[in-house]
Structure 1
Amino acid sequence: MTHSGGGSVLKYCKRFLIFGIIAVLLSVPMALYAQQHTYINIKDPFIRKVPLAVSAFKPLSGTGAESLHGEMARTILVEGMAFTGYIDVMDSASFPERPAVSGITGAHLHFKKWTRMGAELLVTGGIIEQQGNIRLEMRLFDPFKEKLVVGKVYTGRASELRTMIHRFCGEISLYLTGKRGVFGSRIAFVSRVGGNKEIFISDFDGYAPRQETHHKSITLSPALSRDGRWLAYTSYVNGKPDIFVLNLKNRAKTTIAFKGMNITPAWVPGKFELMATLSLDGDQEIYLLSGKGNILKRLTRSWGIDVSPQVSPDGRKVAFVSRRGGSPQIYVKNLDTDGVMRVSFQGKYNTSPAWSPSGDKLAYVGIVKNKIDIYVTGFDGSAPMQLTRDQGDNEDPSWSPDGGFIVFSSTREGVSKIYVMTARGSEPRRLVNLPGAQTDPQWAPGYSN
């Protein structure tokens, strides 16, 4: 089945043979476009937002169900692209034509009308629905070049509409930035349930939070594996802090319960291995463990406690918190050379290190003049920059998979809640709408959609 940007609507197949979500490329390969047309640097502090027009979806069979799902699809796409921070979604009231009526292919569009209103990108969509199955035709046009730049077909159940639309959002992000962005990624966090604390997981934007643990105890420090299959965390359900490793698919669970404390697990990229803090010898030190809980190696040996390990994206360094210098500070250990260097120097208390996806920066929590805020520094401690200020206590930073955002917890509205801001510290917004306090957010490092 083939299609070009200026062709007619794809003929509808009466039976859906595939019920997963399948993307069929309708244009030149995306990798080529990503190389030729990448022009947005999401790390740029002076980033310019790109005007994007998203037309209403065309019901290709004209049914009421298609119209309803089309409205839902457009809303999901608009909200998803607005989340990126580099897209300015244009008001549909100013659109010069209605592709949902006139046609969604390049042959039906009058590009000069769109450029006159300032649209630099245009999305059109078509939808077919039958017996709970949906087929989406999605196109991204560059009106100035008068060409189709991304085209996809997605097929799946109506319940998968959000996932299908976010896949296309990822394609738009790839075209503009060279990365698929946050679409499809997930965030784990701690939320109060009654008088207890449990682990929840939500979509990247806080949508559909799901409770994953039911220990009816204090459960902390969630860590999602890069492939999204495993959740490691600490729980006091057995009367002391132990580490649990949960298979999110089959719910199989492993308990890591050495003598003393077993806390702050962190996954090693590309391996079924964890780094964690254990106190089996009395002092809190960092160890390398297998995913089944076997000790592979002791990584730190100092008179002061060593906690909160975070492994660099390349797996060759580990950032952690240590009191070896007197007060809690951030250190980085080179796993190849065993060399250790201190990277935080501002203030007397710095904790919660988090690597950027590129491995060149660390976010962390610092206490300066009794203010708890989030900072970012080079992995060698260079050029520290304060991201939050004068807005309650701000803790638990974690980077988005594309490096464009940092999720964190904050008491700026009273009780602690989950927020996201750009990696530059701008545009903070609350994510999750749940009762009680939420803390310890961790953005899964992989693209799991």
Structure 2
Amino acid sequence: MIFNRWIAFWSVLLMLLPASVNAAQYNYIDISNPFLRKTPIAVPVFKVPAQDRAAMRTAESAAQRLAYYLEFTGYFSISDPGAFLEDPQAMDITGAGIRYRNWTVIGAEMLVTGGVEIREGEAQFELRLFDTVKQKMLVGKRYRGKPDDYNRVARRFCSEVVFAVTGSRGFFDSKLAFVSNGTGHKEIYLSDFDGSNVQQFTRHNSISLFPDWSSDGRWIAYTTYANKRPQIRIQNVKEKRWSGIDKPGLQAVAAWVPGEFKLAAGLSFSGDLEIYLLTGNGKVIKRLTNSVGIDGEPTWAPDGKRLAFVSRRAGNPQIYILDTDSGRVQRLTFEGRYNTQPSWSPKGDRIAYSAMKSGVIDIFTIDPENGEAVQLTENQGSNEAPTWSPDGSLIAFSSTREGKSRIYVMTAYGTDQRRLLTLPGEQTNPKWSPNIVTP
């Protein structure tokens, strides 16, 4: 039976572990540990019926993508297939006959097994994760779809693997928005979380900057000079619907309220640039800041009750925190004379930001409670515009370490820094979306 491409891709909730098992009890990977040791994991080519070349192509592609995504997390190191002591096409994949010693002896502490069958144009993927040291299965899933749905299958199962070992669903359904000037104009582009599948989002033939995703991933607010002055546009991701802010003066840098169709933005219609709370359609609800000097670059705490922002009220740009209930404002950064671009972690425990130190801009994180700061980048060009993955495990940012500005990613502790993509021109202003589950 041949299913519609999108409807057919569904996960049969064949949990080979009881659904009530909480992954946190495993304590495999402590994601709060800045000195995290990567867990060696083996991902053999998935097993297929004998002589089924179409299934083998799908199995090889699926296993490669799965290994790539697992390594991308920063939690795992992928075991060398050349060291395997088992033939992937002859080994048991269900657990009953797995010879765990053959995996632990090559250093693999975890093992992914899989099987692929294709019948009448429909592919069935059966995937499992094993702890080879404790000799137990951690999770199992079965998926059905078209043979070339292997990439989506790999992402879905990676989410299950990461949840099993960390208690977090990861970032595999997320995207990135960023700015690129490859066309000769600064336009906003979208890509998958790993920099693949790049698509141009705006076509204003002008300057468009500072994209920010709504909590449901359906809208992007950004600043554009399409009408010769900076204005904020709120645009639907899938459709051509959009709205603007009907106020004179400058408009700059919007930030969506977590879980609500509202946003904060810097507006100057009343004088200096101040931060206002707006509806998702751009109508002013109320003024949030009121000071002598410029206030802007808002970023929300995950509870939507506190707002970090940049202000020049002390003479130079520093980061402050506003309690929106009480109206109380506290200064957060004191070291240095240039601290900007705050980005509040989805976990709420850190704020990433850009700071100038010794004439160079680098990325730091700071504890919003005690002001303890940690430097993440150093001696590698100019590094700016940090943005957190939806699970708080990674930070994307722009850097000039290779000359032109490109988008890079690193762990929340500054390790595993690597470039995501290379496009014509330069790429800046990355913004990570929430996890967006597609049909």
- Post-superposition CA distance 1:76-121 (Å, at most 9, x none): 0111111111211101111121232333221332222222222211
Q: Identify which of 342, 349, 352 aligns with 1:363.
A: 352
User: Which residue of 96, 116, 119 maps to 2:108?
Assistant: 119
Q: How many pairs does the alignment contain?
A: 436
Q: CA deviation at 1:426?
A: 1.5
TM-score, normalised relative to structure 1: 0.93
* 1:430 shift after superposition: 0.1
Query: Under a length normalisation based on structure 2, what TM-score does the superposition of the two structures give?
Result: 0.95
Q: 1:71-82 counterparts in 2 under 5 A?
A: 71-82=60-71
- Comparing 272-281 with 180-189, greater Cα deviation is found at 180-189
Equivalent residue number for residue 190 of structure 1: 179
Secondary structure of the 2:21 match is helix
1:235 partner letter: T
1:223 aligns with 2:212: yes
Number of the residue aligned with 2:388: 399
The structural deviation recorded for 1:53 is 0.7
Is 2:422 the partner of 1:443?
no
Q: Distance in 2 between matches of 1:225 and 1:448?
A: 14
Paired AA for residue 11 in structure 2: I
TM alignment of 1:146-185, pairs within 5 A: 146-185=135-174
Question: Out of 167, 190, 201, which is 2:190 matched to?
Answer: 201
In structure 2, stretches of 5+ residues that fail to align are none
SS at match of 2:160: helix
Match among 47, 58, 61 for residue 47 of structure 2: 58
Contact 2:352 2:387 in 1 (8 A): yes
Correspondence for 1:260 among 249, 258, 262: 249
Question: Whole-Å Cα distance in 2 between the matches of residues 413 and 143 of structure 1?
Answer: 41
Decide whether the 8 Å contact of 1:247 with 1:253 is kept in 2.
Answer: yes
Identical amino acids, percent of aligned pairs: 47
In structure 2, the partner of 1:326 is 315
| Conserved? CA contact 1:217–1:236, under 8 Å | yes
Q: What root-mean-square deviation, in Å, do the aligned CA atoms of Structure 1 and Structure 2 show? A: 1.7
Cα separation, 1, equivalents of 2:27 and 2:240: 41
State whether residues 163 and 184 of structure 1, in contact with CA within 8 Å, keep that contact through their aligned partners in structure 2: no
Amino acid at match of 2:320: Y
Shift of residue 424, structure 1, vs aligned partner? 1.0
What pairs up with 1:24-423 in 2 under 5 angstroms? Answer: 24-30=13-19, 32-60=21-49, 62-130=51-119, 132-380=121-369, 382-423=371-412
Q: Residues 422 and 250 (structure 1 numbering): CA distance in 2 closer, same or farther, change over 3 Å? A: same
> Partners of 2:123 and 2:158 in 1: how far apart?
18
| Cα separation, partners in 2 of 1:346 and 1:95, compared to 1, 3 Å | same
Contact 1:363–1:375 under 8 Å retained in 2: yes
Unaligned ranges ≥5, structure 1 = 1-13
Partner residue, 1:424? 413
Q: Distance in 2 between matches of 1:264 and 1:60?
A: 55
Give the CA deviation at 1:246.
1.4
- In 1, the alpha carbon distance for the partners of 2:111 and 2:213 equals 36
SS at match of 1:144: coil
CA distance in 2, matches of 1:31, 1:309: 39
CA distance in 2, matches of 1:220, 1:25: 44
Residue aligned with 2:260, SS: coil
Which amino acid in structure 2 is aligned with residue 220 of structure 1?
L
